[in-house]
C-alpha cells in the first residue's frame, strides 16, 4: 500500500484549492480529470513487474484495464504522464513493446475521485495551510483501534474539522 501513496506523491497531483477549510465532506469536490498515455497490448505480452517504474500507479486504481467487449485478447495499459510524454519515451524505456506502441499509442482521460487519494492527502488538502506552520498537527496518522472504533487525539486547532476527519 505504501508504494501507491509514494507514487501519488511523485505524480504531484494537486487537489483543488476549494477543499481548504472544508468542514463538511463533499466527495464530489475531489473529482478531477487527468490525461494519461496508453498502449493496447496483447495479454500474453504484458509484464507489469518489468514496467512498474513507468506505469500509472494510483491509490485504488488499476493501470491495466480490460478492453472487453472490444477485445478479449488485448488490455489497455496506462502509463504515468510525468514519465511518458511521447511514443519515443515509451520505446526508449520499454523497447520490447515497440510494435504495439506504433500501433496503438494514444492518450485517454481518466477521472480521479475521492477514492484515489490517501487519507493523509485528503486531510492535508482540507486543513488550512497555516495550521501546521508552528508545529506539525496530528491529522489522524496516530490512533488506536478498539474493535471497530478508532480513537484519535486531536489538537485544539483541528477540532473544527473533527467530523470530516472522522468520516
Cα dihedral sign, 23-117-17-27? negative
Are the beta carbons of 36 and 108 closer than 8 angstroms?
yes
pLDDT digits (tens, 9 = 90+) for 36-84: 999 999 999 998 888 888 999 888 889 999 987 777 889 999 999 999 9
Stretch 80-108: mean pLDDT: 94
Asked whether the predicted pLDDT for residue 4 surpasses 70, the reply is: no
Cα dihedral across residues 94, 100, 106, 109: positive or negative: negative
Global confidence as pTM: 0.75
Query: pLDDT at residue 99 above 90?
Result: yes
pLDDT (tens digit per residue) in 124-158: 888 887 765 555 555 555 667 677 776 777 777 77
Distance CA 63, CA 82 (A): 15
- Ordered by start, the domain boundaries in the chain are 2-115, 129-166
Q: What is the pLDDT of residue 17?
A: 83
Give Cα 135 distance to the centre of its chain.
28
Nearest to 115 by CA among 28, 18, 20: 28
Amino acid at each position: 500500500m505504501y508504494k501507491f501513496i509514494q507514487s501519488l506523491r511523485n505524480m504531484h497531483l494537486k487537489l483543488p484549492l476549494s477543499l481548504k477549510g472544508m468542514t463538511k465532506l463533499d466527495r464530489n469536490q475531489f473529482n478531477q480529470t487527468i490525461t494519461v498515455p496508453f498502449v493496447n497490448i496483447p495479454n500474453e505480452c504484458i509484464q507489469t513487474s518489468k514496467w512498474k517504474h513507468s506505469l500509472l500507479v494510483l491509490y485504488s486504481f488499476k493501470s491495466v484495464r480490460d478492453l472487453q467487449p472490444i477485445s478479449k485478447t488485448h488490455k489497455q495499459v496506462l502509463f504515468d504522464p510525468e514519465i511518458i510524454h511521447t511514443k519515443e519515451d515509451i520505446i526508449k524505456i520499454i523497447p520490447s513493446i515497440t510494435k504495439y506502441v506504433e500501433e496503438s499509442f494514444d492518450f485517454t482521460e481518466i477521472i480521479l475521485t475521492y477514492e484515489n487519494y490517501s487519507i493523509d492527502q485528503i486531510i492535508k488538502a482540507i486543513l488550512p495551510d497555516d495550521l501546521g506552520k508552528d508545529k506539525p498537527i496530528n491529522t489522524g496518522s496516530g490512533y488506536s483501534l478498539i474493535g471497530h472504533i478508532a480513537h484519535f487525539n486531536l489538537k485544539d486547532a483541528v477540532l473544527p474539522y473533527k467530523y470530516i476527519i472522522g468520516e
